[in-house]
Structure 1
Amino acid sequence: MAGVITEEERTARSQRARDAAVAAATALGLDASEATVLYDVFSVVVDLAPSPVVARIPVVVPRGTTSAGFQRTELDVSRWMASRGAPTVVPSGLVPAEPVERDGFTMTFWEKVEGVLPNDYDAVKRMPAVARLHSILADYPGRTGFFPGMQGYVDLAFDDLEGREDLLPAADLARARAEWAALSPAIASPSAFARMFPGVPVQVVHGDAPYYNLIETADSVLYSDYEHVGVAPVEWDLAHTGEEAISAYDAAAADLGLRAVDTGVLRAMERLRDLQVVACLALVPQLPLLVDGLSPSLEAWRATEPWQDRKAPSA
């Protein structure tokens, strides 16, 4: 594919991010002499050993967005969650809880969680934790965006995919644009959403598959990754989890005094998530492994009826 980063270039990018994290940590008084890269996809995650601190450095960022704003929200929400006694990953107390810029990267520093168990990504099992998260976030007093990261990003991504048949066939892009035109007005503002889905409330939600972003140890299950926290219906967090998971969520929500899932809104949120996946193809030049990772979701989307041929359903 034209203009796609090579594996050697990706490895070098990861090393530069690690070096920037080590330099920033050292300047903040941490000993990071044994630092190692733990993870490298959209962000490079660095264990700043021997200090009990982990750095998170975004390296693949959609055009039209910046990391610092999302990072600041993530830090604020995690601290607020901790203040409420919620089990959560927290910013490191050894350095200021704010984004740090170094050598072209913007990063945040987190308290290292020891003894992390493999994630089984079982949505059904984890739905009670998601419902509890929603019950907590409903009271979050800070300012967040409405569907943050979606407005602007999708349009720019589709523009970047224009003429890139190596990434997305023209017919798929035309369909995605039509579906986006039909659904995007609903997420332009809370009032616009209320017009399309009257009576369905919105609140602060996690924004990025919270069941997937739980960190489990032998002693606890921690909420994490608040980078995309914003105002939306709870269905935004529940898209494509499956009927059994939705039933599990509804049962837990009822126990917590929360509303049940609106099936019409859920279908709309699932289609918007599909379009988010399509838009992610614009990031393939920065992250080639997305081709294989996105393929099942793209095939599932292609197998559905185009959204513009029908009205958004109601529950």
Structure 2
Amino acid sequence: MTDPEIMTADQRAEYALDLATRAGRGLGLQAEEPRVLHNVFNVLVHLAPHPVVVRVPALAVAMVEEQAAKQRRELAVAGWLADRGAPVVAPSPLAPREPVALDGRSLTFWEFVTETDPLSGVTDPAALEKRFVEQTGWAAQLHALLAGYPGDDLPVLSPLVPAVGLTLDELARNPHPMLTAAELDRARAEYAVLEALVQDFSACFPGARLQTLHGDSPAYNALRTATGHLFSDFEDVTRGPVEWDLTLVGPAGVEEYERVSGTAVDRALLDVMEGARLLQVVGALAFATLKPDLAPTLEPVVGLWRSRAPLSLPDAAAS
């Protein structure tokens, strides 16, 4: 990992603030009051008073060239949606729709939006479930728009292959105490299952239709603003079955998606995708030594992964 990734959270935020400010100035944006909005896997910097947010990758195992390729896909899809009036956080018109390279990092520039009803303010479980059910219905509308995206060259399930493999390789080099050696072996065997699935998806699930997806649970990445909802964070945009975007939304969310979309969700495929999502979270333990407060948030999901049978393909595909 590169030097910024071995910094403390405060150091990463300070580093990202400086990097974003210098990158903005290179584009003529003289930010007078830059501020950090978010600091987890990415650091989001608002170049105030400009309506521009810079996303600076903070924790990553991919090389910068691979990050830039991923960002180009994100900008292309989010920009395509924005150009058609879709409810998305758009690339900033004050910056090129290209990653901006600086000091060996790859940055992207987005429009600043004000969230009026943040998720952090919802504490009642029933209200939280109602919110996710509604947002899963919105995801059905997003999928209808994404189905028209012309980029058939998008990789299939790229948030899984090779992304999860990279994090598991990192865990093999630097084990985390939450994961035993036997559990890491199980995780790597499950990743091999995902590789086989991606290699020939139609053989595993002949009835599945692959299309452009948000890639990172759009129901969890919807911002509520004074003028309506906006989907954000398309950095994992990919091709795949809609079931990948429906992981962990719960039965009521799936039913709402079917109601809004008018299409049936393949429960067997959803189960495989949910197992894959849990494996992705297991791989995220690779970042826990760099961000100490991350492991406690991952632990419940890792527990769900342990309680499931190991990921496998349908019998017809496995034979």
Whether the TM-score (by the shorter chain) exceeds 0.5 is yes
Per-residue CA shift, 1:8-35, capped at 9, x if unaligned? Answer: 7321121111101101111211121110
Q: 1:37, 1:45 within 8 Å by CA — same for their partners in 2?
A: yes
Q: Is the 8 A contact 2:213 2:237 kept in 1?
A: yes
**Contact 1:81–1:88 under 8 Å retained in 2:** yes
Give how far 1:95 is off: 2.1
Q: Residue in 2 aligned with 1:168?
A: 179
- In the alignment, what sits opposite 1:304? 308
Aligned 8 A contact 1:161 1:168 in 2: no
Which amino acid in structure 2 is aligned with residue 180 of structure 1? Y
Which deviates more from structure 2 when the two are superposed, residues 152-161 or residues 107-116?
152-161
What is the match of residue 38 of structure 1? 37
Q: Which runs of 5+ in 2 are unaligned?
A: 123-127
Is residue 149 of structure 2 the alignment partner of residue 140 of structure 1? yes
Alignment of 1:151-300 (within 5 A): 151-162=161-172, 164=175, 166-188=177-199, 192-254=200-262, 259-300=263-304
Unaligned regions of 5+ residues in structure 1, if any?
none
Q: 1:183 to 1:50 in 2, by over 3 A?
A: closer
Distance 1:110-1:202 versus aligned 2 partners, 3 A rule: same
SS at match of 1:147: coil
Please give the secondary structure, in 2, of the residue aligned with 1:174. Answer: helix
Report the alpha carbon displacement of residue 205 of structure 1 after superposing the two structures with TM. Answer: 0.8
Give the secondary structure class of the aligned counterpart of 2:19: helix
Match of 1:112 in 2: 112
- Three-state SS of the structure 2 residue aligned to 1:60 is coil
- SS of match in other structure, 1:39: strand
**Offset from partner CA, 1:243-292 (integer Å, 9 cap, x none):** 111111111111xxxx3100110011011111111111112233322201
Tell me which residue corresponds to 2:125.
none
Name the CA distance, whole Å, in 1 between partners of 2:96 and 2:269: 40
Q: Which residue of 1 aligns with 2:139?
A: 130
Q: CA deviation at 1:240?
A: 1.6
Measured after TM superposition, the shift of residue 63 of structure 1 is 3.8
Compute the displacement of 1:176 (Å): 1.6
User: Is 1:64–1:153's contact at 8 Å kept on the other side of the alignment?
Assistant: no
Superimposed CA distance per residue, residues 281-305 of structure 1 (whole angstroms, 9 cap, x where no aligned partner)? 1122333222011111001111122
Q: Name 1:99's counterpart in structure 2.
A: 99
1:155 positional shift: 2.6
Cα drift, residue 67 of structure 1: 1.7
Distance in 1 between the 2:78 and 2:167 partners?
29
Are the aligned partners of 1:21 and 1:102 in contact in 2 as well (CA < 8 Å)?
Answer: no
What's the RMSD between the two structures over aligned residues? 2.3
Is 1:52 paired with 2:46? no
Change (3 A) 1:302 1:310: farther
- TM (norm. structure 2) is 0.88
* Alpha-carbon distance in structure 2 between the residues aligned to 1:101 and 1:178: 36
User: Number of matched residues?
Assistant: 302
Q: Return 40-49 or 67-76, whichever deviates more.
A: 67-76
**Cα gap change, 1:181/1:103 in structure 2, threshold over 3 Å: closer, same or farther?**
closer
- What is the distance in 2 between the residues matched to 1:115 and 1:307? 37
Q: Which has a greater percent of helix? A: 2
Q: Percent identity among equivalent residues?
A: 41
